[in-house]
Every structure is written in C-alpha cells, then in structure tokens.
Amino acid sequence: MAATPPSTGGCPVHAAMTTSPTGCPVSARAAEFDPFSDAYQQDPPEYVRWAREQEPIFYSPKLGYWVVTRYDAIKAIFRDNITFSPSIALEKITPTGPEANAVLEQYGYAMNRTLVNEDEPAHMPRRRLLMEPFTPEHIRHHEPLVRKLTREYVNRFIDDGRADLVDQMLWEVPLTVALHFLGVPEEDMDTLRRYSIAHTVNTWGRPKPEEQVAVAHAVGNFWRYAGKVLEKMRQDPDQPGWMQYGIRMQRLHPDIVTDSYLHSMMMAGIVAAHETTANAAANAIKLLLQHPDAWRDICEDPTLIPNAVEECLRHNGSIAAWRRLVTRDTKIEGVDVPAGAKLLIVTSSANHDDRHFADADFFDIRRENASDHLTFGYGSHQCMGKNLARMEIQVILEELTRRLPHMRLAEQRFTYVPNTSFRGPEHLWVEWDPAQNPERRNPGILQAQAPVRIGEPSRHAIARTVVVESVTRIADGIVKLRLVSPDGRALPRWTPGSHIDVECGAPDRSRQYSLCGDPADEHALEIAVLHEPTGRGGSAWIHGQVRAGDKLRIRGPRNHFRMDETAGKLIFIAGGIGITPIAAMARRALELGLDYELHYSGRKRSSMALLAELAALHGDRLHVYVSEEGRRNDLAALLGRPRVGWQVYACGPKHMLEAVQAHCAAWPADALRVEHFESDLPQLDPAKEHAFEVELKDSGITITVPADKTVLASLRAANIDVSSDCEEGLCGTCEVRVLAGEVDHRDMVLTKAEREANNRMMTCCSRARGSKLVLEL
C-alpha cells in the first residue's frame, strides 16, 4: 500500500506547491502525478491509490488534466456525455511538433471523430445504425475463426517448451480476427498490422521529438492504406464485414454515415478491436499465472473461464484510463471543475475501488460483480466490441488451459508501451515441459471444447466446487450437509439470511438452500435439506445421491434476506424447513444482545430440524408450535397490532407466508421480510402479454420487448449487460433501476414497499404495465 503523504500543515491534503485552474492548491502528490512514469505503467490503480483514498479528484499540473479515480464518479461521468464530452478521447496526449504535423499533412491525414469521441446529436444515430454486427447473435459467427486461429498458433509452439505469447500469438490472433470482422481482404492484412502500433504511440503515447516524425510517417501510411482498402471494399460491398455493413448503411443514410467517417472508422476500428483485445488477453494470462490457484481452477473447470475473464478485465484490464472534456462548470466529488477542463478518468482505479468491489485488490475469479468493471466504459459510449473481445479471450484461455495446463510464467521484467490508456505487457514469456503436454498422452483433448459464453457471464459460470464433509440426518426427512473446500482453503464469508445455489446433478438444475451453520466458521458451509418427494427433484437428488466425500458445485453465498440489526425488536417466524435462515438470524440476534422472539412451527417434533439446539441457545425466546400436539402459532395475536420499529422475518411454506403477509398488511412498509425458495412464476404466455418499449437512458437507445420475450432477453439481444442467475424472480441478481414507467412486478424478491416505490425491477420476469419503461442502463 502506498504511504500517506506527509501533511504540510493547514489543509491535510494540499501542500500548496502550485494551484489548479480554479485557484485551489495542488497537493504534493498531485503535483508529482505522472502517467508516463514507470510506477503508473506497471500498476495504474496502485499508483493512484492515495488519490482514491484521500483526494478522489485532483489537478495534475504536469498533464494539464483533472484526474478522477473513484467508481461512482467515473460511472456518473460516463453516464452524462453532454456535460462530459468524449471529444478529447483520442486527442493526442502529447501534441506533435510542426515537423511531424507537416508529415501527417503530406499524407492527407484527416482523422475524424468516430464513435468513441463523437458528441451528440451526431453520435447516437450512427451508433444505432452500425451496432447490429456487434450483437451476440452476430458475434457468435466469429467463434469458429477465433478457435481455428488460436489452435494453429498454439500448434506452432506447443513442443518448444517456451514462448513469448505476445509475439507468438496474442498480437496476431486478435489482429486477424479484427481484420476479418472489419471485412479487410487477406492480402492487405500484413500491411495494416505493421502500421497499427504507430497509431497508439501517436495518440496515447509520448514519442520523443526525434521519434515523432517516424511515427507520423507510419500513421500517415496507415491512413492512406486504410483509404485504399476502403475503396476496394466499396467495389464489393455485399461481402461480410463491418465496414461493408457501414458502406451499405451509407447508401441508405448518406447524411449519417459519411465518407470521412468510414475512413476514420476503418483505422480506429483496427486499433480498437485489435490492440485492446491483444493487451487484455496478455494481461489476463499473466494475472492468472501469477495466481496459480486460479489458473488451476480454470484448468480443472473451464466453465469458470467467462467470469475469470471479467475478473481479469476488472483487476488488470487493457484500458487504464479514458478522457473527457468538461463542457460546463460542474462539480465532481464536491470539487468545482470549470468548463473546458480536461479529465483523465482512471477506470483501472475505479475497478479497484473498495466502495464498489468488496476487497477490491483481491483477485477472485468467482467474484459476483466482476462484470461491473468499467474497462469497456459505460453507457452510450460503451465499447461496442466488448462481446467480441470477451469471446476471444475466453477461447484463448480455454485452448491454453486445456493444452498447456502446466504452463508457468518465466522470469522476466514486464515492459509496457508508454501511454496513458492502453495497457498490456510488450512480451509475455511462459515456459513448460513439453514432455508433460496432455495431448501427447491423450490426443482426444484436441477435439474438446467448452461452450463459449457470448455476452456478460451469467451467474451459472461462477460455480465453485466443494466437498461434502458429512451428511447427517437431523430430523425426519431432513439431512444436514457440511460442505468444505477441496483444498482446505477458506470459503467465502456470509451473513445470516444468506443462501447458496446447489447444482443438483446438472448445471441447469440448481436449488437454493439457506445457510444454517455458524458464519464465523470460515471453513464450512452448512445447509439442511428436506426431502420433498413431490418437489422439482433437487431434494430427491440430494437425499438419494449425495454422500460424504462427494463433490458438489455451488454458487454464492448471496443474501437477499438481510437482517436489520438496528431494529427495535425482531420477530422470527419459521415453518418446517424454513427454520434454516431463521436459525442463523436468531443466533446473530442473540450474539448482538438484541430483543427478539423466535416462533417455530411444525407438524411433529421429530420432523423439526435443529429443535434441541435452538432450545438450548434461545431458552424462553423460543416458542414451539407442534400441530400434532394441538398447538398452532396464533398469528393474529402475534401480529395483530402493528409495531413501529419492529421487524418481522418469515420463512416457511407458502400458506404460512401468505397468512403472515395478511396479518402484517397494516404494519409499516418494509416491516415484514419473507424468504421464498419457490417461484410460482408462470411460463411467459405471449397471448396474455403485450409488447412495450424500454428506453435505456445511459445507453441512449430504445428497444422493444415483444410479448414472447423477457426484458432480460431483449436487453441481451441488444448487447446490454445485465447479470442473471435463477431467471425465475427469486434471487435478485437481474435487478435494474427504473427511472420512469409503471412496473408490473412479478418477482419474489422485492417487498411491498419496494414495489410501490417503482424504482427497481427484476428484468428476468417483471414487465411494463403500460407501453414504456425507462431504465438506468
């Protein structure tokens, strides 16, 4: 961790060495900030840790930019592309001298605004017109090429025992894919490859005066050659390729897709699709090999790869920072920033912000919100090629983990092309023992391949393997499973009310079970499972198949049934197996010394799990109702009078929850929280639904949700990332914020008050009551 700068007296932050354009003193660290220093190049988020923690926005006199470092502020900047214009995103960070400018002029270099740096109102109409080839449906068609190329390149070095993955594969595969995606003819690929690197140095780098002229020649050549290739494409615009698609769109909308626009897009497209992906793949492999546990996990379980890619993009993505121009006086993090100010928004720092990512520096390939990273930007300027990049990195990792699981990093010092934004090692040396190559013993593995997930990974990709340490019968028809990690590593921490998803024999058959053990025990998770012969098959599988020593795949823990530890009094109501989350909550209430009552109902004592343990722990606070003994919980007496400041938590059979809900109708909003494990969500019936529009405020597009599709499916088809898990309204993963329009809530997650607030919805099941919704996406 970086040391805290010494205080200079007065303001603890500012050292008054110099002042910002607003006259505010600049702190010593801000004055020293230099994104071309080795420290920034090696680890940008670590380099600005001090700022993230103490001075989240500061003025850098060396750069002439304001530097923004925290997640929320950067996301807000991406969201408002009027106040924060992207127009300087590609402006040269080091202005070129007259000699280099003359060279560029000589080539007729006239790089125009493109999708990445264009203001409204021009930007969105173009983006909408050119977006279709980037949707998951279209991206899918490129997977066979990516796989074929990756295999060919690995074939070239697999028997060598040593390779520089950047030079020998990672630079070339994404470039070839990018050129194919754009529709560049094979014969022009080599030339364009040679020129593209100069473009990065020209735009984001700090070439020395003597280098500038050479760089300008390369950029000029790149420009000129791109123009020639474009002309060639115009001769045959029906060929596949994004440029040809653009040429066809130009015919329909010549005012929107102009000539100069296409020429600029051609160049920018190559750089955007190629270098960022090559760098991202190199960063990902380096990071995974630096964390051998994670590398081993994805070798053993390739379904972890999609989320591992997201975590790599978050932890060490290929875009370290973006730039914006402030168009009107505004405030960022409470600091006045004047119109005309230039912003360096350090997205890599946002991705390490503990305010958004728990234990953000920790590399966790199962991190649930890894894909919230800002490496692709956000909103209307979010990288259109994100799903192409994700797919390429997944395929590359899948091929390498299958064919070279014994690969390790060689001794080396990593170097980076000096620039503020694009980041990836120039070389990545790895080594292995070719005699151990699995395909020498088992050539069959060459045919294997795991399905690639196009788009943001679903929660299904984040399963972890645990070992069943014991299976204990704790009541009639109820077994308790104690689950531990296979290698003795600690399991994720959890809070009372949390559940895990257990894959019951198949990835698409997962069931949710509340954790009922001790949250302080970091080495085990405990669940209790009731055998329900008429259920959907999950409990029957657990009772019939699972034995001590077996491996299970689980996801979570996740908590949508959180206990309010500040409540004046807590009423816990459990029926049957619903005691599992309630038991953990009551234990916590006891530990905290809170005022609480525990009401537990069941048919007969022998079928009530944990009874003796609860009696021993909770004494008089436990009220037991056994129906065969003629004792029932009198809900009218218990809940008849609404109490301010009390919280009621209930879990149990549907009829019991409905009764509790009815008795709490007059209680203050949100006083009752219930936990459901079964959805009664009916299948989507198009005959009973209506189509509606969804405006995505941050992305600047409007989509139609047809009667036979969910909002979630429609968002994904439009290339918008939303996570999901259960997809039946139970888990809360697919929640988004609603800005306008009335929601027809169908989930089991939101409370009555939360539904009435109408500012959140579950996209996997809920719909619009009227003709339109506006979402913060």
Question: Which listed range, 89-97, 471-479, 649-657, 724-732, lies at the site for ligand FES (CB under 6 A)?
Answer: 724-732
Q: Which is nearer to ligand FES, 350 or 726 (CB)?
A: 726
- The least distance separating ligand FES from the CB of residue 576, rounded to whole angstroms, comes to 24
Question: Which listed range, 198-206, 360-368, 461-469, 726-734, lies at the site for ligand FES (CB under 6 A)?
Answer: 726-734
Residue nearest to ligand FES (CB): 764
Looking only at residues 172 through 191 of this chain, which bind ligand FES when binding is defined by CB under 6 A? none
- The least distance separating ligand FES from the CB of residue 310, rounded to whole angstroms, comes to 17
Residue whose token pair is 């969105």: 124
Binding flag, residue 715, ligand FES (CB under 6 A): no
Q: Which of 579, 731, 768, 773 binds ligand FES (CB under 6 A)?
A: 731
Question: Which listed range, 212-220, 283-291, 624-632, 721-729, lies at the site for ligand FES (CB under 6 A)?
Answer: 721-729
Burial of 132 (0-12, 13-18, 19+ CB in 10 A): middle
Please work out the total of residues on this chain that contact ligand FES, with binding judged by CB under 6 A: 14
Question: Which listed range, 153-161, 525-533, 582-590, 725-733, lies at the site for ligand FES (CB under 6 A)?
Answer: 725-733
The rounded distance, in Å, linking the Cα atoms of 651 and 499 is: 13
Q: Which of 166, 734, 750, 775 binds ligand FES (CB under 6 A)?
A: 734
Q: Which of 100, 407, 762, 773 binds ligand FES (CB under 6 A)?
A: 762
- The least distance separating ligand FES from the CB of residue 498, rounded to whole angstroms, comes to 15
Residues 6 or more apart whose Cβ sits within 8 Å of residue 626 = 601, 602, 603, 604, 605, 608
Binding flag, residue 111, ligand FES (CB under 6 A): no
The rounded distance, in Å, linking the Cα atoms of 582 and 516 is: 8
Q: Which of 656, 726, 761, 768 binds ligand FES (CB under 6 A)?
A: 726
Question: Which listed range, 181-189, 391-399, 613-621, 728-736, lies at the site for ligand FES (CB under 6 A)?
Answer: 728-736
Cβ contact 70:355 at 8 Å: yes
Q: CA quadruple 670, 676, 680, 685: dihedral positive or negative?
A: positive
Question: Which listed range, 83-91, 98-106, 731-739, 750-758, lies at the site for ligand FES (CB under 6 A)?
Answer: 731-739
Binding flag, residue 727, ligand FES (CB under 6 A): yes
Binding flag, residue 729, ligand FES (CB under 6 A): yes
- The least distance separating ligand FES from the CB of residue 557, rounded to whole angstroms, comes to 15
Q: Which tokens is 377 given?
A: 């930007």
- The least distance separating ligand FES from the CB of residue 735, rounded to whole angstroms, comes to 7
Q: Which of 732, 736, 746, 760 binds ligand FES (CB under 6 A)?
A: 732
Binding flag, residue 501, ligand FES (CB under 6 A): no
Binding flag, residue 530, ligand FES (CB under 6 A): no
Looking only at residues 742 through 761 of this chain, which bind ligand FES when binding is defined by CB under 6 A? 747, 749
Cβ contact 212:220 at 8 Å: no
Cβ contact 355:71 at 8 Å: yes
Q: How many C-beta atoms lie closer than 10 Å to residue 641's C-beta? A: 10
Question: Which listed range, 120-128, 482-490, 592-600, 722-730, lies at the site for ligand FES (CB under 6 A)?
Answer: 722-730
The rounded distance, in Å, linking the Cα atoms of 677 and 234 is: 58
- Read out DSSP for 352-370? T-TTTSTTTTS--TT-TTG
The rounded distance, in Å, linking the Cα atoms of 285 and 171 is: 13
Q: Which of 273, 730, 743, 773 binds ligand FES (CB under 6 A)?
A: 730
Q: Which is nearer to ligand FES, 199 or 767 (CB)?
A: 767
Q: Which of 733, 736, 761, 775 binds ligand FES (CB under 6 A)?
A: 733
Binding flag, residue 104, ligand FES (CB under 6 A): no
Q: Fill in the DSSP letter of residue 329.
A: -
3-state SS class at 389: helix
The rounded distance, in Å, linking the Cα atoms of 93 and 228 is: 28
- The least distance separating ligand FES from the CB of residue 584, rounded to whole angstroms, comes to 21
Site mask for ligand FES (CB under 6 A), range 432-451, x = bound = --------------------
Q: Which is nearer to ligand FES, 597 or 725 (CB)?
A: 725
Q: CA quadruple 699, 705, 710, 714: dihedral positive or negative?
A: negative
Between the alpha carbon of residue 694 and those of residues 130, 341, 455, 735, 742, the distances in Å are: 20, 34, 20, 15, 11
Q: Which is nearer to ligand FES, 373 or 499 (CB)?
A: 499
Q: Which is nearer to ligand FES, 282 or 764 (CB)?
A: 764
- The least distance separating ligand FES from the CB of residue 535, rounded to whole angstroms, comes to 19
The rounded distance, in Å, linking the Cα atoms of 592 and 612 is: 21
Measure the N-to-C terminal CA separation of the chain; round to a whole number of Å: 34
Q: Which is nearer to ligand FES, 162 or 509 (CB)?
A: 509
Between the alpha carbon of residue 43 and those of residues 410, 431, 602, the distances in Å are: 20, 24, 57
Question: Which listed range, 62-70, 379-387, 626-634, 723-731, lies at the site for ligand FES (CB under 6 A)?
Answer: 723-731
Question: Which of 592, 594, 585 has the alpha carbon at shortest distance from 563?
Answer: 585
Cβ contact 680:757 at 8 Å: no
- The least distance separating ligand FES from the CB of residue 724, rounded to whole angstroms, comes to 4
Q: Which is nearer to ligand FES, 76 or 681 (CB)?
A: 681
Question: Which listed range, 65-73, 341-349, 522-530, 732-740, lies at the site for ligand FES (CB under 6 A)?
Answer: 732-740
- At residue 274, what is the residue type? H
Q: What ranges in 236-304 are assigned the alpha helix state H?
A: 242-252, 259-290, 292-300
3-state SS class at 165: helix
Cβ contact 458:370 at 8 Å: no
Q: Which is nearer to ligand FES, 437 or 498 (CB)?
A: 498
Q: What ranges in 322-436 are assigned the alpha helix state H?
A: 347-350, 386-403
Residue whose token pair is 């980041």: 423
Q: Which is nearer to ligand FES, 291 or 366 (CB)?
A: 366
Cβ contact 529:478 at 8 Å: yes
- The least distance separating ligand FES from the CB of residue 185, rounded to whole angstroms, comes to 44
Q: Which residues of 65-76 are buried (b: 16+ CB within 10 A; e: fewer)?
A: bbbbbbbebbbb
Q: Which is nearer to ligand FES, 318 or 723 (CB)?
A: 723
- At residue 770, what is the residue type? G
Binding flag, residue 724, ligand FES (CB under 6 A): yes
Binding flag, residue 368, ligand FES (CB under 6 A): no
Task: Work out the angle at residue 112's Cα, subtended by the Cα atoms of residues 106 and 115, and round it to the nearest 5 degrees.
Answer: 150
The rounded distance, in Å, linking the Cα atoms of 364 and 348 is: 16
- At residue 431, what is the residue type? E
Q: Which is nearer to ligand FES, 403 or 459 (CB)?
A: 459
Which chain residues interact with ligand FES by CB under 6 A?
Answer: 724-727, 729-734, 747, 749, 762, 764
